[in-house]
Chains A and B, each alone.
Chain A
């Protein structure tokens, strides 16, 4: 567990008496009524300015809301706060949005998934599920339609596995229970009013409007939203005055599936999070489980992992840059150039893992297969010869384009303080001039051996985000050269027979990596059983969307498309 020792808990007792109820190895248990006071103190006096992750766990006796804090301006190790809510019928605690605005979407997600109310949250409503959904799926007593058993493997499959279509297990018969007195035929979906962004009170009265505010729905079916993403814009003329992202169209309750799955089964499911960078997702997940298990990874496997993760970063950034231009109206030329180079990297993934996008390549303690014959030569060819040449072409094609510069400079500016407060991660954070890269700040795997720069730009606008991504491709090439040169021979998995039933000791862990899109974290609570008790993904693009309104306000509708494009969202990860 990340230590809490760096902070003198006694000083904490003196500063805010009664705030810390209990000091456990996994974190400080905080009294809910003192939470806000403590949070403000930690942010202002102790330098914990970055709320990395906020989630909740449903324990038999209480709900636990977990906060992972880091320091970004001055580096600070993780500080874990926990608030226990024994009143399971009506769980509520104060919202920390006023302290860390980055908590906004995360608190809404907790409310949506576990039904915990955050008092003082400006816009507490469902975020991933639709208004009117009954129940809170991540509570342990929630049963989804087609529910079979609490944990896989299901007993019906073997040795007497007579096949049954899922559809034949009638969902309306024994899988769904309606609340008493509720009639599905009489139900209508509650309408969302968007009063906050429309600037009206509950009766629909505006506050001194000069022009009429119009509500514009953007998406979910729109080529510039990179998937099924909808944003509701309040506009005055062409100017955006309010914005609310509506997400969840691709929601499949990844975390509930993860709790039903065994640890091994989750690896291919993580591929489907950010489906552009499946290797990184695999890596983040296996690192978290390895941290719990205390596994040692062989040298060769570490190198292969780094190579794969960096190739993934190049793929992701090429797509991000290409599609940013797509959003700008350059139509498909730059994105197809990017996709073409991506094909060659996907060829490498396919050779090694068998699949181009859903790689499922990492295993606990190593990787699934060794690199096939000819792989390294091909990768070297690509890294030394092709990619630098492609980047040269990309620079010529894109970087100097005057239309691009005019559309992106000064658009969607986020200052360093704002970026940290909104829990931005990855290129979004670095483009605001914050030199924070987990590969450097808290090296995982073997990143401490490689020589690379943390790319930052001070501007904090869309152009800076483009530039940071381009620069990171060069740095990835640099890391790849070192890793391919240093790739040792040897085993790729720890000694012993390959196990499909891994033993994960009871405990909890939060492990984060610098994914291509930002801080990708996995929070796992194990109770020693073959499947995780709680499995939470800190999705970087989901949290990066928190600041979308902040960035868009004051710009034109057309700019909001560009700003969204520069966030580089992947809906598989946003909606999970």
Chain B
């Protein structure tokens, strides 16, 4: 019969319509009044109805690898930047948005730390290559995507003060990556002390130095 196909299709939309309300009832008190601050969609096959999110009242739980603008990690205890101004991030950056001025001592000899560090977020393409290739685990991708500003220039040019985050913050947003790096660092240090002990160099193991091991 002509029209059966249309009716069948409307049946699907009706089903969706009803399940949306069932889903809403299940979420009482309310999905709209700030009831669920962070939403984790971890069981996709069972989720029915809508799964739109009422941003900014509700927020999606970001996966650990989520990347937005890069950040520079500094040691929470000492305040030292992990960055050594080696410039690899500036070299791999596809839109060339990283600008680094290497620090110099009084005699003009270059030091292994940045004097200035800029990321032009107006052209950053969030690719994450800088974080991927940083040999010192100093540059990482931030989760904070709310960087809207009134003026493009200079508000969206991030300098050291805007880019620096403590290791504690990094450990909180990327726990797995942090744990892996810490384990690798500990293993390297243990290996180092073992080697030194073998050589007979009596030197106490330095466990607190997190200033960036290559």
Interface residues of A (CB under 8 A from B): 148, 152-154, 156-163, 165-167, 261-262, 264-269, 271, 333, 337, 340, 343-344, 347, 350-355, 358, 360, 368-369, 372-374, 378, 381-382, 384-386, 393, 396-405, 498, 500
Contacts and interface: CB of A to CB of B under 8 A. Distances in A.
Given A372-B64, A372-B65, A402-B3, A158 B51 contact: no
Contact of B42 (A163, A266, A352, A378): A378
A402 B132 CA distance: 52
Interface string B99-120: 1111000000010000010101
Contact of B118 (A161, A167, A374): A161
B66 interface: yes
Interface in B109-157: 110, 116, 118, 120, 123, 125-129, 132-133, 141, 153, 157
Contact of B127 (A351, A358, A386): A358
Give chain A's interface secondary structure class: helix
Contact of A264 (B51, B92, B98, B123): B92
A397 B12 contact: yes
10 smallest A-B Cβ distances: which pairs?
A400-B5, A161-B99, A158-B87, A268-B127, A385-B45, A265-B94, A354-B65, A159-B102, A354-B67, A386-B45
A268 B99 contact: no
B183 interface: no
A344 B12 contact: no
Contact of A402 (B6, B45, B63, B133): B6
Contact of A500 (B67, B91, B102, B116): B91
Given A333-B13, A372-B65, A401-B6, A358 B125 contact: yes
Contacts of B56: none
Contacts of A148: 96
A500 B123 CA distance: 21
A211 B207 CA distance: 89
B41 A347 contact: yes
Interface of B: 2-6, 8-9, 11-13, 16, 41-45, 51, 63-67, 85, 87-88, 90-94, 96, 98-102, 110, 116, 118, 120, 123, 125-129, 132-133, 141, 153, 157, 176
A175 to B, nearest CB: 16
Contacts of A266: 94
Contact of B2 (A354, A402, A498): A402
Nearest to A157: B90
Nearest to B50: A340
Residue among A156, A267, A400 with the highest chain B CB neighbour number at 10 A: A400
A148 B123 CA distance: 15
B101 A161 contact: yes
Contacts of B5: 399-402, 404-405
A374 B94 CA distance: 31
26 contacts: A153-B93, A157-B87, A157-B98, A158-B102, A161-B98, A161-B99, A161-B101, A161-B118, A167-B153, A265-B129, A266-B94, A343-B51, A344-B41, A347-B44, A350-B66, A351-B63, A352-B65, A353-B65, A354-B66, A355-B66, A355-B126, A358-B127, A360-B129, A372-B63, A378-B42, A396-B11
Nearest to A166: B123
A448 B25 CA distance: 49
Given A161-B99, A358-B126, A378 B67 contact: no
Contacts, number: 154
A162 B141 contact: no
B160 to A, nearest CB: 12
Contacts of A353: 65
A360 B128 contact: yes
Given A351-B63, A354-B67, A268 B129 contact: yes
Contacts of B8: 396-397, 400
Contacts of B3: 402
A185 to B, nearest CB: 28
Contacts of A368: 132
Nearest to A499: B133
Contacts of A167: 153
Contacts of B66: 350, 354-355
A400 B118 CA distance: 57
Contact of B153 (A160, A165, A358, A402): A165
A489 B123 CA distance: 38
A226 to B, nearest CB: 23
Contacts of A399: 5
A355 B176 contact: no
B118 A163 contact: yes
A88 B11 CA distance: 65
Contacts of B102: 158-160
B45 A381 contact: yes
A397 B65 contact: no
Given A157-B91, A158-B99, 19 more contacts: A154-B96, A157-B98, A158-B87, A158-B90, A162-B99, A165-B157, A264-B129, A265-B129, A266-B94, A267-B127, A343-B51, A368-B132, A372-B65, A373-B176, A381-B45, A397-B8, A397-B13, A402-B2, A500-B129
Given A372-B65, A378-B42, A400-B4, A265 B92 contact: yes
A159 B94 CA distance: 17
Contacts of B88: 500
B92 A500 contact: yes
A398 B9 contact: yes
A548 B100 CA distance: 50
A369 B131 CA distance: 12
Contacts of B99: 156-158, 161-163
A337 B49 CA distance: 10
B127 A397 contact: no
A381 B45 CA distance: 6
A268 B5 CA distance: 43
Nearest to B102: A159
A183 to B, nearest CB: 31
Residue among A152, A158, A261, A262 with the highest chain B CB neighbour number at 10 A: A158
Contact of B133 (A160, A404, A498): A498
Given A340-B51, A378-B44, A498-B133, A397 B9 contact: yes
Contacts of A386: 44-45
Nearest to A399: B5
Contacts of A333: 13
Contacts of B129: 264-265, 268, 360, 500
Nearest to A373: B176
Contacts of A354: 63, 65-67, 128, 141
A141 B202 CA distance: 63
B45 A382 contact: yes
